[in-house]
Chain A
Amino acid sequence: MQTKTSELLDTLVGDGMAVPQPDAPPSTKTMNGAEIFIRSLEAEGVEVVFGHPGGAVIKIYDEMARLKPKFEHILVRHEQGGTHAAEGYAKATGKVGTVLVTSGPGATNTVTGIADANMDSVPLVVFTGQVPTALIGNDAFQECDITGITRSITKHSFLVRDVRELASTIKRAYHIARTGRPGPVVVDLPKDIMLQETTFEYPEEVRIRGYSFPTTGDPAKVRRAADMIAASKKPLLYVGGGTIISGASELLTKLARKARIPVTTTLNGLGAFPESDPLSLGMLGMHGTWYANQAVQNSDLIISVGARFDDRVTGKLASWAPHARIVHIDIDPACISKNVYVDCAILGDVKMVLEQLEPLVEPKDTSAWLEQIAYWRAECPLTYENDGKLRPQFVLQRLREKTKGRAVVVTDVGQNQMWTAQYFQFEHPRTHITSGGLGTMGFSLPAAMGAAFGMRGKDIPVISISGDGGFVMNAQELGVAAAHGLPMKIAIMNNNFLGMVRQWQELFHENRFSHTDLESTNPDFVKLAEAYHCVGLRATTPEEVDEVIEKAWSINDRPVVMEFRVVKEEMVFPMVPAGAATDEMITKRLTPNAFV
């Protein structure tokens, strides 16, 4: 009965191209594009699809209701949330995230998430509806050229023009998204293609003549890298997100401990090496530790593993690591010598290259170098003021204490992100998820939701950490998390400010707090949580923090929002000012506090 109603609706409000449904699942091999789409996703092993229906994909949603596919469809409340959820799912599980949205605005709403995935090498396949092929280019209702719009922010994109190419295109899309340096792939699906019929066969293998990716490294270069390590006196491992993507964290840890090489990680590399290890220097770069940046500036050999010499890492490029020769292990040829000339480039999958390199590296004595680093560590450790006020760093330390590092932590962008990177002390790969490259505010909540879907049944808590600014940008997904009873812990560091922008205004723009005060436009976060069927808690003093955390951890059938009313003028230190060399760090407040 239900099918018939929707069929009728489709005929009335659609483009009149709907074809009658077969009463039973097709016994012949012929099926329509929408069913081929669903069967292809099943054959691909897709488990979760984040999506939002609309006119151009109504046939797919209709077939979903009829066929009851093996994958689960999660109805998100905004397509941007859907794309971030797929990213969170992909980053937490290592699988490809899948998004399904309609044409026009549905498609354009995914753009931010696609750009984010492209910057952070997240495997994503985004299926967008499109107007029927005959109408493409006619400014039809809800038409937009999404493959054109996303061309510079995708690894690749497809517009399916023939139903017979649908299954093979889907196979290619997943192959491209998953392999090499992962990235987002857009597949645009015109409505008429979903209605046309053909036989279905999901290809076993995929061959794309213009596409290949490196695997093992050139043995001669690996040998050379091992020799360079042996000859170095002040070696430093500079570890990025590529190490986590390729699953090489264990190997890396083994290598670092064997040769006693200190390790600093990028923002996306956090978790690749346990921060409790004495060899760990934490994060480097703009808000990295003083000692990590000092090590970089004094090192004679930097071994970059799956990192891309981002400007937030290097600061003033010409002054970065002035004494170091550089070994770079990366899968993307375009990352080699892109920003900093590399003395020994090993093109390949990080894990495969480390498998080659590790046996060639001999244990070595780096104690003088480690002593020097210990001196820098003592000189300027990570600290914050402890004066009885509620400081965000304290909240993070309590969350760390509660979980012992066994949690998937998903941060937003800004101060909350940097404090988490500095104070959470990550131990395991894939436990730190953030929007690193693009810096997308509003990322944390939907991405944490996606991660929570991926982590169901795994007994690892998923913690979302946001500021008050970013949280509001995708707060609508609270309802989705609540409906699915996801036991997420959502921490909001509420300082009623766009904190990071405020920090720059205080440091570099003479306290002109232009449009960063959010107090008058912020909601009551506890009430907001309750309105979305979540639990809302609030802490305003350090004493209340543990209480709130304990309460939050005792609730396991729905999301809990914890609002921490933190000190408004707290800053992230140390900091490399934009355009400065990485050893020219600001370590404490320079100007008198504007609020005192």
Chain B
Amino acid sequence: MPSTTLTPQQIIRLKAAGEPLSPDEKVQETRHTISVLVENTVGALNRVTNMFHARGFNLESVAVGETDDPTVSHMTLVTTGNDRIIAQVIRQLNNLIDVLRVEDVTNVEHIERELCLVKVRYNTMDRSEIMDVVNIFRGKVVDITPETMTFELTGPTKKVNAFIGLMKPHGIVSVSRSGRVVMTRHLVYGD
């Protein structure tokens, strides 16, 4: 449908939903990091992930762990979608009875970390080159055998992705990532 036939009200609706006004426009999908406090039970975790499946939402990463209160877990979810979808994700999460608090931290000052373990094959030729990269990324060697080395790396998802990309040519044996965890910053002074 060419955009000229849209009524003003239809344009308002499409814009509010983040949907394209004409077929040749790109869909405005954004990535959002959502911090959720839930009851610390297996059922609660299942309810949250199940909701994403049942409602057809994307779920790129989930990280979950106990908080200082043993009855409460902190989940960090990464999802993508247009504005309407993201609003729906947050509302549907809030509707779950086991969910205590939901916060979209994407546009809030926050710290984001991911832990990654990477096992890489090495030989005498590329060993020092690999170690250079590991040092630049402030990784740690946590295991070594005559053929492989295992590194521990923490950092924002982008940094972890970059590290894995640089290790690829050397021959990655396996990768294990924790998924993103986040915490909003508590600003001491200024804004």
Contact = CB atoms under 8 A, between A and B. Distances in A.
B101 to A, nearest CB: 9
Contact of B7 (A323, A333, A334): A323
Nearest to B94: A333
Nearest to B96: A210
Contacts of B1: 318
Given A156-B98, A210-B97, A333-B95, 14 more contacts: A151-B47, A151-B50, A152-B51, A156-B97, A176-B97, A209-B100, A210-B99, A210-B100, A211-B97, A321-B9, A323-B9, A334-B94, A334-B95, A343-B12
A140 to B, nearest CB: 19
22 contacts: A151-B50, A152-B50, A152-B51, A156-B97, A157-B43, A159-B43, A176-B97, A210-B39, A210-B96, A210-B97, A210-B98, A318-B10, A321-B9, A322-B9, A322-B10, A325-B9, A332-B95, A333-B95, A337-B17, A337-B84, A338-B88, A341-B84
Interface residues of A, number: 28
B43 A147 contact: yes
Given A325-B9, A341-B13, A341-B84, A334 B91 contact: yes
A457 interface: no
A155 interface: yes
Name which of B10, B38, B96, B97 has the most chain A CB atoms within 10 A of its CB: B97
Interface of B: 1, 6-7, 9-10, 12-13, 16-17, 38-39, 43, 46-47, 50-51, 53-54, 84, 87-88, 91-92, 94-100
Contacts of A321: 9
Nearest to A319: B10
Interface of chain B, main secondary structure: helix
Contacts of B96: 210
A318 B17 CA distance: 12
Contacts of B9: 321-325
A340 interface: yes
B57 to A, nearest CB: 12
B100 A336 contact: no
A211 B95 CA distance: 8
Contacts of B43: 147, 157, 159
Interface of A: 147-148, 151-152, 155-157, 159, 176, 208-211, 318, 321-325, 332-334, 336-338, 340-341, 343
A336 B16 CA distance: 13
A492 B62 CA distance: 52
Nearest to A321: B9
B58 to A, nearest CB: 17
B92 to A, nearest CB: 5
Nearest to B38: A210
A208 B7 contact: no
A151 B98 CA distance: 12
Contacts of A323: 7, 9
A333 B50 CA distance: 19
A333 B91 contact: yes
A322 B6 CA distance: 8
B100 A341 contact: no
Contacts of B7: 322-323
A461 B87 CA distance: 45
A458 B129 CA distance: 87
